[in-house]
């Protein structure tokens, strides 16, 4: 088994705190069942004394480890040696100032930034984590990898399998729950795709059993190495802001991997003295998949130094079962009722003085249209961050002059069905295409103009509408 004198795995429960070698493939603490972190002995790891050095690495981008927006920061996730890293050039993403969207959100010009993770090779932020999971899988010699997915994790896993040829991929998806853009990626890349008669929560429960029984490497975000890669999204945000910490990071919440990784990134940067304070974190659920907001906002669940009161959580899950309530939102990527990283997210919320909100499908689609009109576009789940920022501005939690970064987690073309339905169809057809989701108006629809095949008519239409 591979050992490291720098990195180890550690149970997140302060009451347990058991540690394990990096060479073990674990998705929960064998002693108490809680989630695991990748932890480091920073005295041995010798982290940088300042953050500025990282941006100079871009000038060495002929080296694949410098080209990658994840492995440029290897010193802050030092569980692997450079020779062990598996990279396809992920993490070359942009932070853009977005003044049009800022006006919609209610922020002053120059105060809203969008972090476009859709620019990753498979079109979502997942590649940040997958490169780290593949690196660990290679370290331990895994030959097969599996995930349950609402679409993006599976696209990313399938892509890393086909590009690197290191492992065979097995993908579990809920039936009818995945957008065509994402499904097409998994099929095209050649992964074994298993469609379960159920939703993501069912698929997640099954893939855990199957990977345990068959010894398949699990790459869902219960894998602590994956979250190490996702920390780098925050390093790149800070880098783009010239190492100034913003006031807010706003992120959609599904399985809660990102929010957990962001919290860990900031906790470590503070511990290492590389930043003074963390930004505040806002995690945004969809109203139809709002477990985190229900538990935190309504039932008062907190990390509480690791002593989480599990009673309201168990009661809530029991009520979901009794009422057979399934997650339901147009933002299919975050259509999740049982987030596997709940405890780590609670820890991140505590560290970052975070808040949780939920937004409706109507708010998500309107925000998505504004993001699209403002520039680069995103998929519905990603727009939850912008809709959430707007809600928090409205509530006076975020001030008009605050510096806010919304994470756009996935590319616009991941889910064109929702976009086209919003812009072109009438209410009846919208409901037929996407189900009746309480979306009553396409406030910012850009409708196609129907015109007969006649030069005069076409010219008239252009004059009228332009
Ligand atoms: N945004 C997008 C586009 C996603 O694909 C996901 C998760 C999230 C947000 C939520 O992120 O889980 O870190 O809270 N997609 C997973 C998948 C579940 O299977 O692709 P999270």
Residues 6+ apart with CB under 8 A from 163: 88
| Long-range contacts of 437-441, Cβ-Cβ distance < 8 Å, separation of 24 or more | 437/288, 437/328, 437/329, 437/330, 437/361, 438/360, 438/361, 438/362, 439/330, 439/361, 439/362, 439/365, 440/362, 441/362
Instruction: Give the residue among 129, 450, 177 at the shortest CA–CA distance from 334.
Output: 177
Does residue 388 line the site of ligand 1, with CB under 6 A? Answer: no
Instruction: Compute, in angstroms, the gap from residue 410 CA to the centroid of ligand 1.
Output: 9
From CA 306, how far away is CA 29, in angstroms rounded?
15
| Ligand 1 nearest atom to the CA of residue 260, by list position | 13
- φ and ψ of 403, to 5 deg: -95, 120
| Ligand 1 nearest atom to the CA of residue 410, by list position | 3
Q: Which range (34-43, 268-277, 441-450) has the least confidence?
A: 441-450
Q: In this structure, which residue's CA is closest to atom 15 in ligand 1?
A: 333
Question: Does residue 348 lie within any of the structural domains?
Answer: yes
Q: Which range (114-123, 365-374, 445-454) has the least confidence?
A: 445-454
From CA 97, how far away is CA 147, in angstroms rounded?
34
Mean pLDDT of 25-47: 95
Q: Decide if pLDDT at 282 tops 90.
A: yes
Q: Decide if pLDDT at 465 tops 90.
A: no
Question: Does residue 376 lie within any of the structural domains?
Answer: yes
Q: Provide the pLDDT for residue 124.
A: 98
Instruction: Compute, in angstroms, the gap from residue 254 CA to the centroid of ligand 1.
Output: 5
Domain that holds residue 402: 94-122+226-417
**How many domains does the structure of the chain reveal?**
1
Q: Provide the pLDDT for residue 443.
A: 84
Does residue 153 line the site of ligand 1, with CB under 6 A? Answer: yes
pLDDT over 90, % of the chain: 87
Q: Provide the pLDDT for residue 325.
A: 93
Q: Decide if pLDDT at 175 tops 90.
A: no
Instruction: Give the residue among 290, 267, 277 at the shortest CA–CA distance from 246.
Output: 277
Does residue 142 line the site of ligand 1, with CB under 6 A? Answer: no
pLDDT over 70, % of the chain: 99
Best residue among 170, 255, 340, 377 to mutate for probing ligand 1's pocket (most ligand atoms within 8 Å of CB) is 255
Mean pLDDT of 42-47: 92
Q: How far is CA 311 from CA 13, 62, 299, 300, in A?
A: 17, 53, 10, 11
Instruction: Compute, in angstroms, the gap from residue 128 CA to the centroid of ligand 1.
Output: 12
Q: Provide the pLDDT for residue 458.
A: 92
Q: Is 203 helix (H, G, I), strand (E, B) or coil?
A: helix
Does residue 334 line the site of ligand 1, with CB under 6 A? Answer: yes
Q: Provide the pLDDT for residue 454.
A: 94
Q: In this structure, which residue's CA is closest to atom 6 in ligand 1?
A: 333
Does residue 410 line the site of ligand 1, with CB under 6 A? Answer: yes
Mean pLDDT (the chain, rounded): 94
Summarize pLDDT for 398-413 with one digit per residue, the tens. Answer: 999 999 999 999 999 9
Does residue 257 line the site of ligand 1, with CB under 6 A? Answer: yes
Does residue 181 line the site of ligand 1, with CB under 6 A? Answer: no
From CA 161, how far away is CA 87, in angstroms rounded?
11
Question: Does residue 155 lie within any of the structural domains?
Answer: no
Question: Does residue 327 lie within any of the structural domains?
Answer: yes
- DSSP codes, 245-292: PPSEEEEE-SSSHHHHHHHHHHHHHHHTTS-SSPPEEEEEEETTB-HH
Question: Does residue 151 lie within any of the structural domains?
Answer: no
Best residue among 206, 359, 368, 409 to mutate for probing ligand 1's pocket (most ligand atoms within 8 Å of CB) is 409
- φ and ψ of 388, to 5 deg: -70, -40
What pTM did the predictor assign?
A: 0.96
Instruction: Compute, in angstroms, the gap from residue 465 CA to the centroid of ligand 1.
Output: 38
Q: Provide the pLDDT for residue 4.
A: 85
Does residue 124 line the site of ligand 1, with CB under 6 A? Answer: yes
Q: Provide the pLDDT for residue 176.
A: 76
Mean pLDDT of 35-46: 95
Instruction: Compute, in angstroms, the gap from residue 457 CA to the centroid of ligand 1.
Output: 46
Question: Does residue 405 lie within any of the structural domains?
Answer: yes
Does residue 150 line the site of ligand 1, with CB under 6 A? Answer: yes
Q: Provide the pLDDT for residue 447.
A: 85
Instruction: Compute, in angstroms, the gap from residue 462 CA to the centroid of ligand 1.
Output: 40
Q: Nearest-5° angle of CA 90, CA 215, CA 181?
A: 40
- Who wins on pLDDT, 70 or 177? 70
Does residue 341 line the site of ligand 1, with CB under 6 A? Answer: no
H/E element holding 113?
Answer: strand 112-116
pLDDT band of 328, cuts 50, 70, 90: very high
Instruction: Compute, in angstroms, the gap from residue 218 CA to the centroid of ligand 1.
Output: 16
Question: Does residue 234 lie within any of the structural domains?
Answer: yes
Q: Decide if pLDDT at 428 tops 90.
A: no
Question: Does residue 184 lie within any of the structural domains?
Answer: no
pLDDT band of 449, cuts 50, 70, 90: confident
From CA 440, how far away is CA 423, in angstroms rounded?
13
| Ligand 1 nearest atom to the CA of residue 256, by list position | 14
The CATH number for 242's domain is 3.40.50.1100
Does residue 170 line the site of ligand 1, with CB under 6 A? Answer: no
Q: Is 455 helix (H, G, I), strand (E, B) or coil?
A: helix
Does residue 174 line the site of ligand 1, with CB under 6 A? Answer: no
Q: Decide if pLDDT at 23 tops 80.
A: yes
Q: 128 with 121: CB under 8 angstroms?
A: no
Q: 135 with 80: CB under 8 angstroms?
A: yes
């Amino acid at each position: 088994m591979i050992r490291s004198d720098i990195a180890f795995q550690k149970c997140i429960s302060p009451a347990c705190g058991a540690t394990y070698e990096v060479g073990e493939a674990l998705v929960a603490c064998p002693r108490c069942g809680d989630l695991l972190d990748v932890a480091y002995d920073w005295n041995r790891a010798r982290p940088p004394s300042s953050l500025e050095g990282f941006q100079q690495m871009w000038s060495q981008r002929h080296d694949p480890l410098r080209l990658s927006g994840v492995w440029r920061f290897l010193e802050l996730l030092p569980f692997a040696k450079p020779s062990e890293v598996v990279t396809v050039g992920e993490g070359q993403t942009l932070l853009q100032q977005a003044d049009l969207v800022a006006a919609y959100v209610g922020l002053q010009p120059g105060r809203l930034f969008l972090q476009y993770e859709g620019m990753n090779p498979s079109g979502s932020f997942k590649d940040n984590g997958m490169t780290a999971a593949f690196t660990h899988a290679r370290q331990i010699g895994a030959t097969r990898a599996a995930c349950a997915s609402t679409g993006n994790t599976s696209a990313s896993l399938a892509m890393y399998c086909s590009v690197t040829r290191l492992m065979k991929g097995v993908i579990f998806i809920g039936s009818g729950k995945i957008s065509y853009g994402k499904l097409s990626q998994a099929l095209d890349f050649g992964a074994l795709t298993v469609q379960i008669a159920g939703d993501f929560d069912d698929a997640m429960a099954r893939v855990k059993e199957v990977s345990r029984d068959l010894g398949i490497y699990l790459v869902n975000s219960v894998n602590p190495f994956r979250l190490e890669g996702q920390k780098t999204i925050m390093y790149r945000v800070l880098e783009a802001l010239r190492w100034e910490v913003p006031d807010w990071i706003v992120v959609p919440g599904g399985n809660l991997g990102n929010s957990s990784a962001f919290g860990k990134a900031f906790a470590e940067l503070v511990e290492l003295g590389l930043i003074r304070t963390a930004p505040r974190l806002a995690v945004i659920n969809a109203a139809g998949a709002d477990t985190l907001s229900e538990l935190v906002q309504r039932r008062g669940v907190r990390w509480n130094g690791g002593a989480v009161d599990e009673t309201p959580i168990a009661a809530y899950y029991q009520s979901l079962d009794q009422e057979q309530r399934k997650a339901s939102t147009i933002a299919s990527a975050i259509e999740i009722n049982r987030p596997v990283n709940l405890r780590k997210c609670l820890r991140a919320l505590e560290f970052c003085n975070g808040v949780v909100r939920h937004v409706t499908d109507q708010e998500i689609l309107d925000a998505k249209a504004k993001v699209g009109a403002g520039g680069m576009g995103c998929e519905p789940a990603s727009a939850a961050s912008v809709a959430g920022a707007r809600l928090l501005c409205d509530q006076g939690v975020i001030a008009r002059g605050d510096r806010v970064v919304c994470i756009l987690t996935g590319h616009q073309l991941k889910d064109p069905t929702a976009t086209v339905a919003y812009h072109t169809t009438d209410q009846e057809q919208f409901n037929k295409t996407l189900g009746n989701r309480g979306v009553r108006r396409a406030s910012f629809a850009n409708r196609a103009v129907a015109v007969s095949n006649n030069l005069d008519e076409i010219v008239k239409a252009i004059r009228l509408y332009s």
